[in-house]
A and B are shown apart, each in its own frame.
Chain A
Amino acid sequence: MKAMILAAGKGTRVRPITATLPKPMIPLIRKPVMEFLVEHLRNHGVRDIVVNTSHLAPLIENYFRDGDHFGVRMAYSFEGTLVDGELQGDALGSAGGMRKIQDFSGFFDETFAVLCGDALIDLDFAELLRFHKERNALVTIALRDVPREQVSKYGIVELAKDGRVVRFQEKPPVNEAKSTTANTGIYLFEPRIFDFIPAGVEFDIGSQLFPALVAHHERIFGLALPFHWLDIGSIPDFWEGTQLLLRNELPDFVLPGTEVRPGIHAGIHLSVKWDEVDIRGPVYIGSGTSIAPGARIIGPTVIGSNCVIESGAVLDQCILADYTRVSSVAALQQKIIFGTKCIDPSGKYLDIEEGQLGWIVDDARRHRQLSDAESELWEQVHSLY
């Protein structure tokens, strides 16, 4: 089985994180979501993966390169153009992206999987493939049961007894939904699918390809399997996903680093005196980070690599990107620090530079230079505290 990972989306709902990072590269405990997928595909015997890229393509391409260090072979289908030194995306849609790859090299010469690059899954592809072959399907959709009150967030699929798809409903109101089985955006296709995808135009799998297949009475099947499916489609999803992994609630996931104290996982090359820091797990600390005596850290928390946590700082359920400095007067509770943004789990955020908050949270590589107002406030907060 071959695979295609869809990685050309813009990720507007994960802003401000996706202003600098494409969605598949969003780190869950410092590891891009897409890396989990690549490893999972490899573990299910997939060797060759083509990824369509567009928005911030080089960040994906430079990370995975030819796939060699992940035990697979990878190639990229770039959808866009270089204009005045900047990459601009050309939307082809999911099916249009598949067609471009096929027209270029005929890559899809056997059953292949197509999946989004921004959802964490532990789907049993072997089981899905067995079902697909058994039914002699043209398409098999991986489905998952969702709570009835949530059906309007999903593409809902109605199945006949043998698993054949009878009907698609796109985000139906709760009272009109024919089932509670949702399309997860993970598909198996036969190469004959390209008979139904026009070349050179924007074409979508869910809203265009599937209706065409239904009209032609083609064999579309769906299989609902119990599996974890963590769509990192928004800041609250990113928050939830990270917490789930920290609490070790995803069976296949092993926390990186070494468990240095119960519930505390850490990388190497750290500057921490464990007995002088008040720290409660689950916490992951990246390599090269320093935590001064007197800091207080409450999990679930992720501290990136090369961070500086000063004495007296409080981190209560936070996710810090690499190279974050947290000053001694800072009290961060349920915050994501990413770039120059201080983000709430709800997605609301403050801009650290605009609020002149460099004296609270900053890039650890910057030489701290406080404005007069900031130093004055620093002094005052210190003296009053």
Chain B
Amino acid sequence: MRIESKVVGRYLVVKVLEPRLGADRAVNFKEAMWKFVDQGQKSLVLDLSSVEFIDSTGLGAILSVLKRMGTDGELLVSGASDAVDSMFKLTRMNRIFRMFSTVDDAISAPV
């Protein structure tokens, strides 16, 4: 699982570098993300701009990160492609996550 992370202000921006976030990648993704959460990260931006395909397993992994963060955590999603955005909308997960077109939009958004 290739991911890249950097601190921007109070956010940790995590970029997924895989084109597909499906069953074969979801477990690794989840573990990597949980690690950040367990280290005490309360504000995450998940940059999906390189992801072209996501399935239910991938969506589930993202949800599990939110759950792990608890009620005081903040997980923003940015850069979803049309296909990925469609999946969020179909499952109504676009109402659970705040979604932005770019990382910059996400980090400058009012809380």
Interface residues of A (CB under 8 A from B): 329-333, 335, 342, 344, 348, 350, 354-357, 359-361, 371, 373-374, 376-377, 380-381, 384-385
**In the complex the two chains form, is B55's CB within 8 Å of A355's CB?**
yes
B23: nearest chain-A partner, CB-CB:
A373
B63: nearest chain-A partner, CB-CB:
A380
**In the complex the two chains form, is A350's CB within 8 Å of B91's CB?**
no
With A329-B92, A355-B87 as contacts: A380 and B60 at CB distance below 8 Å: yes
**Most chain A CB within a 10 A radius of its CB, from B57, B59, B89, B90:** B90
Query: Which 5 pairs of residues, A with B, have the shortest CB-CB distance?
Result: A356-B56, A377-B60, A373-B57, A356-B55, A355-B55
Closest-CB distance, A383 to chain B (whole angstroms): 9
**In the complex the two chains form, is A331's CB within 8 Å of B92's CB?**
yes
Task: Find chain A residues with CB under 8 A from B87 CB.
Answer: 350, 355, 357
Closest-CB distance, B15 to chain A (whole angstroms): 22
Closest-CB distance, A356 to chain B (whole angstroms): 4
With A354-B55, A356-B56, A356-B57 as contacts: A331 and B90 at CB distance below 8 Å: yes
**In the complex the two chains form, is B96's CB within 8 Å of A384's CB?**
yes
B61: nearest chain-A partner, CB-CB:
A373
Task: Find chain A residues with CB under 8 A from B86 CB.
Answer: 342, 344, 350
**In the complex the two chains form, is A359's CB within 8 Å of B56's CB?**
yes
Task: Find chain B residues with CB under 8 A from A384 CB.
Answer: 63, 96
**Most chain B CB within a 10 A radius of its CB, from A342, A359, A381:** A381
What are 13 A-B contacts with C-beta separation under 8 Å? Answer: A331-B89, A333-B89, A348-B82, A348-B83, A356-B55, A357-B87, A357-B90, A360-B90, A373-B57, A373-B60, A374-B56, A376-B60, A385-B92
**In the complex the two chains form, is B91's CB within 8 Å of A377's CB?**
yes
Task: Find chain A residues with CB under 8 A from B53 CB.
Answer: 355
Chain B interface mostly? helix
**In the complex the two chains form, is B90's CB within 8 Å of A330's CB?**
yes
- Number of B positions contacting A (CB below 8 A): 23
Docked complex: B81-99 residues within 8 A CB-CB of A: 82-83, 86-87, 89-93, 95-96
Task: Find chain B residues with CB under 8 A from A374 CB.
Answer: 56
The complex places the Cα of A354 from the Cα of B22 at a distance, in Å, of 10
B26 CB–A CB distance under 8 Å: yes
**In the complex the two chains form, is B92's CB within 8 Å of A355's CB?**
no
B67 CB–A CB distance under 8 Å: yes
The complex places the Cα of A22 from the Cα of B78 at a distance, in Å, of 40
Closest-CB distance, B92 to chain A (whole angstroms): 5
The complex places the Cα of A330 from the Cα of B87 at a distance, in Å, of 10
Q: A344-B86, A350-B87 are in contact. List 7 more A-B contacts (CB 8 A).
A: A330-B91, A356-B56, A357-B90, A371-B56, A373-B23, A377-B63, A381-B96
The complex places the Cα of A382 from the Cα of B87 at a distance, in Å, of 16
With A330-B90, A356-B56 as contacts: A350 and B83 at CB distance below 8 Å: yes
Task: Find chain B residues with CB under 8 A from A332 CB.
Answer: 90
Closest-CB distance, B50 to chain A (whole angstroms): 18
**Most chain A CB within a 10 A radius of its CB, from B56, B59, B86:** B56
Task: Find chain B residues with CB under 8 A from A361 CB.
Answer: 90
The complex places the Cα of A377 from the Cα of B90 at a distance, in Å, of 13
A350: nearest chain-B partner, CB-CB:
B86
B90: nearest chain-A partner, CB-CB:
A360
Closest-CB distance, B26 to chain A (whole angstroms): 7
With A350-B83, A373-B26, A377-B63 as contacts: A355 and B89 at CB distance below 8 Å: no
**In the complex the two chains form, is A381's CB within 8 Å of B90's CB?**
no
The complex places the Cα of A348 from the Cα of B84 at a distance, in Å, of 12
Task: Find chain B residues with CB under 8 A from A360 CB.
Answer: 90-91
B57: nearest chain-A partner, CB-CB:
A373
**In the complex the two chains form, is A329's CB within 8 Å of B91's CB?**
yes
Task: Find chain A residues with CB under 8 A from B23 CB.
Answer: 356, 373
Closest-CB distance, B30 to chain A (whole angstroms): 11
**In the complex the two chains form, is B90's CB within 8 Å of A380's CB?**
no
